[in-house]
Amino acid sequence: MATAPVVLRAQGRVAVRQAVSNASRYVFLGASLLGVGVLLILAYVTIEKGAGRLSWDFLTNYPSRFPEQAGLRSSILGTVWVMALTIVMALPIAVGTAIWIEEFAPRNKLLAFVKLNLSNLAGVPSIIYGVLGLAVFGRYFGLGPSIMTGALTLSLMIMPMTVIASQEAIRQVPPSIRDGALALGATKWQTVWYHVLPGAAPGIITGIILAVSRAAGETAALIMIGAFTFIAFDNTWPDQDFTTVPIQIYNWTIRPQEAFRENAAAAIIVLMVAVFSLNLLAAIIREKFRRS
């Protein structure tokens, strides 16, 4: 005689607990989709408002008090100048610091202090870096609100995160590569220069790209050094005053006229395309070298 299969069903409180647990999945999923949703809404609102203003003229015109004639020319050039100088200054010092910490530093209290100091600097608000740049580079060195002051300030600001990324990249190079080079008679310095650095290069490049994408969106620190100015010429040298795309966005955002808000939205599209391209580039480099 065949018996019917016994189905065990939770009852009473156990059933309630299971039902609540099953439902919770969707609550947690909803919460994590909220971030995605916000990103999509913001993208939609910006494109709807700003896409109409995007044109070649918008990219190549100087700022203007007539919103329909105003463009991003001087702020794009200023951003490129400041970013280029920031990379040139920050990269060697950041990589040098990371090599020192990982390969040469004596394992003592000084090293622990240097590391603690770096992690604290990473948490210092950008406006404090702006105050530092204003007082030291702008006033004490007499550089004023110039491209050089901006680049020096942003170099110091991105230094901690670039050092930490470079440290991680250097640590990823397997010790066997160092041991092999040293066993074949290479000096410590040759080992680092010919074997560790090339191995760490993709990680270091990823780190600097991400740091630059943060610096490219920085506003407060540059306003503090005095870069909230009207620029209607092409920058040709680091001692000139400048403006950047985020500063231009701020300028257009705080104006009462609706037409300037459209300009701000269009400039946000330009800035976000640049920032996401940099992030994408970093992700591609990371993926490409992870496989090989």
Partner 1 sequence: MSIRCCAPLTACAAVSLLTTCAIIYVLLEETIAFFREVSFSDFFLETRWRPQGGTPSFGIWELVAGTANVVIWSLVMAVPVGLASAIYLSEYAHPRARSILKPVLEALAGVPTVVFAYFALNFITTGVLRPVLGNDVPIFNALAASIMLAVMILPTIASISEDAMTSVPRDLREAAYGLGATKLEVAVRVVLPAALSGVIASILLAIARVVGETMIVAVAAGSSPNLTLWPLSTIQTMTGFMLQIGLGDAARGTIDYQALFAVGTMLFAITFLFNIGATWFVGRFREEYD
Q: What is the DSSP string of 29-89?
A: HHHHHHHHHHHHHHHHHHHHHHGGG-SHHHHHSPP-SSTTT--SHHHHHHHHHHHHHHHHH
Could you tell me which residues come within 8 angstroms of residue 223 by beta carbon, excluding any fewer than 6 positions away?
130, 247, 250
Q: What residues from 69 to 98 belong to the interface with partner 1 (CB under 8 A)? A: 92-97
The letter for the amino acid at 131 is V
| Residue 132 CB, nearest approach to partner 1 (Å) | 5
Distance CA 49, CA 115 (A): 45
Residue 259 binding partner 1, by CB under 8 A: no
Region of 65-73, 79-87, 211-219, 230-238 interacting with partner 1 (CB under 8 A): 211-219
Q: Please state the closest distance from residue 44 (CB atom) to partner 1, in A.
A: 10
Handedness of CA 91, 96, 97, 102 (dihedral sign): positive
Contact by Cβ (8 Å): 74, 61:
no
Question: Which C-beta is closer to partner 1: that of 171 or that of 261?
Answer: 261
**Among 241, 280, 267, residue whose Cα is nearest residue 54:** 267
Sign of CA dihedral 197, 200, 201, 206: negative
Among 200, 208, 265, 270, binds partner 1 (CB under 8 A): 265
In the complex, the smallest distance separating the C-beta of residue 236 from partner 1, rounded to whole angstroms, is 24
CB of 163 closer than 8 Å to CB of 94: yes
Q: Which of residues 217-236 bind partner 1 (CB under 8 A)?
A: 217-220, 223-224, 226, 228
Tokens matching residue 70: 């105003």
- Using DSSP, state whether 236 is helix, strand or coil: coil
Shortest approach of partner 1 to residue 131 CB, angstroms?
5
Q: Could you say which of 171, 195, 214, 255 contacts partner 1 (CB under 8 A)?
A: 214
Find the binding residues for partner 1 in span 101-130 (CB under 8 A).
101, 104-105, 114, 116-121, 123-128, 130
**Phi, then psi, of 72 in degrees rounded to 5:** -105, 5
Residue 253 contacts partner 1 per CB under 8 A: yes
- Interface of this chain with partner 1, residues 174 to 203, rule: CB under 8 A: 187-189, 192
Burial readout 189-206 (b: 16 or more C-beta within 10 A, e: otherwise):
eebbeebbbebbbbbbbb
Taking CA atoms, 203 is separated from 139, 200, 253, in Å, by: 36, 6, 36
> Could you say which residues in the range 156-175 bind partner 1, by CB under 8 A?
156, 159-160, 163
Task: Name which of 101 and 147 has its Cβ closer to partner 1.
Answer: 101
Question: Stretches 60-68, 78-86, 213-221, 234-242: which one binds partner 1 (CB under 8 A)?
Answer: 213-221
Residue (41 or 232) nearer to partner 1, CB: 41
4 or 28: whose CB is closer to partner 1? 28
Q: How far is the CB of 195 from partner 1 (least distance, A)?
A: 14
- Exactly one of 51, 100, 239, 277 binds partner 1 (CB under 8 A); that residue is 100
Work out how close the CB of 2 gets to partner 1 at its nearest, in angstroms, rounded to a whole number.
Answer: 32
